[in-house]
Amino acid sequence: MKVEVSFPSTKVDYYFNARFSELESLANGREIVLLTDKNIQALFPSYFQKHPTIIIPSGEVIKSLQTVQDVTEQLIQLNTNRNSLLVGVGGGVITDLTGFVASVYMRGICFGFVPTSLLSMVDAAIGGKNGVNLGFYKNMLGVVRQPEFILYDAFFLQTLPTQEWSNGFAEIIKYACVFDITIWNKLSKSNLTFYQNNETDLAALMQSCIQWKNKTVQEDEHEKGFRKLLNFGHTAGHALENSLNLPHGFAVGLGMLVACNISEKTTGLDVSVNKNLEQVLMNYGLPTKMSFDTASILEILKMDKKRVGNEIDFIVLEEIGKAIIHKVSFEVIHEALINFSHESNH
């Protein structure tokens, strides 16, 4: 099923219920160069025999300027030019890198994505944000540029480890918290095992999330306002992720709990939401407790791109399904981190 979505800068073709073998027809005669990591290549070796393929190590630490240089040098060796098509096959690290490299190589070549993890399918591959980390500072360097297409092949999910399923569900839970109480109610009544074993229900859930993501990007591609709501759980989450070397979804889940704590103080969010969120996170294999050094997390937060003076644009909840942008002081954030860290030790 093909769905075309238009953005201010371009349009993106979404191919749902598709197969990797359809990739060639999307290239329209252009040379395809694949970018993937060693884990995906090892799981699906036959997928990478037909086209030139750049294989990089796996993991968030690889999302760096050094990797950009390594990939670019290989593109030059392959004689990749402006008529080529770079296709990222992998999770969020691969799609971020692919979009970034394609945007700067020869001042921009065409690119597409084949997301292979649930996290990248529902969130990371969508929206046109492409970037790399600079030390602890996540996505400090980046561009906004849409892929030409995103191809969804559910076959990749069959080999997905349980932890990666949980990783993806953190973003699905985020969409529920920020936009959609209907998704929240579905998640609350179910668990990870159900969706792993019910492809039709999972597909419907994924498409709801993709629609929400596209709606926000269409209205605010360059994140001047409405799109910032997608950062719910990510402000503290990114700091925790890099400081503690956590999987992205695990950190976002914890970040959402911190954000709910802050919401109780800033918007009067009912305290029951935090408890309910804890239960939902646990139902999908995500941690709700973590010990960490609050001072070091706060220092990372002070380098956040959203900081203005002693405040930061924080996404808080008024209720499930309704999020707002609220300027929050670092004192309030520090207090929430202390409370959260204190609770995590009990």
What are 164-221's pLDDT values in tens digits? 999 999 999 999 999 999 999 999 999 999 999 999 999 999 999 999 999 999 999 9
What are 38-82's pLDDT values in tens digits? 999 999 999 999 999 999 999 889 999 999 999 999 999 999 999
Q: Which residue has the higher pLDDT, 346 or 151?
A: 151
Closest CA to 286 of 206, 207, 174: 174
Are the C-beta atoms of 108 and 102 separated by less than 8 Å?
yes
Given this model, what pLDDT does residue 97 score?
98
Which domains occur in the chain, in start order? 2-159 (3.40.50.1970), 162-344 (1.20.1090.10)
Given this model, what pLDDT does residue 346 score?
40
Given this model, what pLDDT does residue 341 score?
75
Model confidence at 344: pLDDT above 60: no
What is the rounded average pLDDT for all residues in the chain?
Answer: 93
Are the C-beta atoms of 112 and 26 separated by less than 8 Å?
yes
Q: What angle do CA 223, 225, 230 make, to 5 degrees?
A: 65
Lowest mean pLDDT among 120-134, 262-276, 299-313: 299-313
Give the helix/strand (H/E) hosting 171.
helix 162-178
Distance CA 159, CA 140 (A): 31
